[in-house]
């Protein structure tokens, strides 16, 4: 079996969740300390710990077979890679923001203004699509201080909660791109059997994460009503309880659906509701 290489961020916002998802796939390895490479002892895989900016090119050029990185970084790098799976973490949005007292209110108002960003490629494409000519000032970090320093009239930067913008007297004004962490491969790598095996494991972990194992008690006379409230459950397991006329219902439910139904379930007669995490769902 060929040993694959997967590149993940060595430290920063994506590191912890990238390591976690690989560990949840049953892979056994040491997290980044000082060495750039870590070998997985129970799968033909090596993990390369890199700066996130380097990951798209490493995958494109075949130095790594796979990578975990934000879509924003891939698009900015213009790398030719294949998206294998969205991973549901590292979610953020690239937004244009202006000072609170700015009169800019439409994209066309940016005409002729200076915009500071670390994402010149993405911003330029966005401005072109909107037929706006603005001056892009590329800076590598702390973009949000641009307007305060007189460097720019606006900024284009990553926003997740908006706290950094607020504390710098800025308000978001237009959304340029949404992003999350994705698993990428070289073009054609989706046909590689080892890649497919790992991808299958990752999909199983993601599916399990979004799903819960629910057990609840209900009197037989209320059973049908309770089952009808559980979305997507075709045929739950019903186990008789010691107490005459009562059963325990076991089922697997998408967590989001479950929270929406919890009050209705209680009203319908569900008691002793227990919600448990699922480690993997083999798909
Ligand atoms: P590196 O040292 O690897 O170059 P970095 O400083 O460029 O790290 P981080 O701040 O660790 O990058 O962010 C990595 C990725 O996390 C971003 O490219 C983006 O996809 C995602 N992300 C999610 N939320 C945020 C946020 N609030 N600010 C910045 N990035 C975020
Ligand atoms: Zn980076």
Would you say residue 283 lies in a domain? no
What is the pTM assigned to this prediction? Answer: 0.89
Collapsing DSSP states into helix, strand and coil, what is residue 252? strand
Whether residues 188 and 76 fall in one domain: yes
Look up the CATH number of the domain holding residue 79: 3.40.190.10
Give the ligand whose atoms come closest to the C-alpha of residue 90.
1
Q: Do 234 and 253 form a contact (C-beta atoms < 8 A)? A: no
Q: Which atom of ligand 1 is nearest to the CA of 160?
A: 27
pLDDT of residue 55: 98
Would you say residue 282 lies in a domain? no
pLDDT of residue 231: 67
pLDDT of residue 234: 66
pLDDT of residue 281: 85
> Read out DSSP for 27-42?
---PPPSS-SEEE-TT
Residue 17 to residue 65: CA distance in whole angstroms: 19
Q: Which atom of ligand 1 is nearest to the CA of 9?
A: 3
Whether residues 192 and 60 fall in one domain: yes
Look up the CATH number of the domain holding residue 243: 3.30.70.120
Range of the domain at 243: 211-277
Residue 178 Cβ < 6 Å to ligand 1: no
- Mean pLDDT of each 10-residue bin along the chain, 283 residues long: 92 96 95 86 96 97 97 97 97 96 94 97 98 96 91 94 91 96 93 94 93 94 93 80 96 84 92 92 81
pLDDT of residue 160: 80
Would you say residue 16 lies in a domain? yes
Residue 217 to residue 194: CA distance in whole angstroms: 43
Q: Where are the alpha helices (DSSP H) in 42-109?
A: 55-60, 71-77
Total domains in the fold of the chain: 3
Residue 12 to residue 54: CA distance in whole angstroms: 14
Residue 52 Cβ < 6 Å to ligand 1: yes
Residue 158 Cβ < 6 Å to ligand 1: yes
């Amino acid at each position: 079996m060929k040993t694959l290489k997967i590149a993940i961020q060595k430290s920063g916002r994506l590191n912890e969740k990238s390591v976690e998802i690989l560990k949840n796939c049953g892979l056994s390895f040491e997290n980044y300390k000082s060495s750039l490479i870590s070998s997985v002892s129970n799968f033909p895989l090596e993990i390369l710990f890199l700066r996130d900016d380097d990951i798209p090119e490493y995958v494109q050029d075949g130095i790594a077979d796979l990578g975990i990185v934000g879509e924003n970084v891939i698009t900015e790098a213009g790398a030719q890679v294949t998206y294998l799976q969205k991973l549901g973490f590292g979610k953020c949005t690239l937004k244009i923001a202006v000072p609170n007292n700015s009169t800019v209110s439409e994209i066309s108002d940016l005409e002729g203004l200076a915009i500071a960003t670390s994402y010149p490629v993405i911003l330029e494409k966005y401005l072109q699509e909107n037929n706006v000519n603005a001056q892009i000032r590329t800076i590598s970090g702390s973009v949000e201080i641009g307007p305060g320093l007189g460097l720019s009239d606006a900024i284009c930067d990553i926003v997740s909660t908006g706290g950094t913008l607020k504390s710098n007297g800025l308000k978001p004004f237009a959304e340029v791109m949404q992003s999350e962490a994705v698993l990428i491969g070289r073009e054609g790598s989706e046909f590689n059997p080892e890649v497919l095996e790992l991808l299958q494991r990752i999909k199983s972990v993601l599916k399990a994460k979004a799903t819960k194992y629910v057990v609840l008690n209900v009197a037989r006379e209320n059973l049908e009503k309770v089952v009808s409230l559980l979305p997507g459950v075709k045929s739950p397991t019903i186990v008789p309880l010691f107490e005459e006329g009562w059963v325990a219902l076991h089922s697997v439910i998408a967590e989001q659906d479950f929270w929406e139904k919890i009050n209705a379930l209680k009203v319908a007669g569900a008691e002793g509701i227990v919600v448990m995490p699922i480690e993997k769902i083999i798909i």
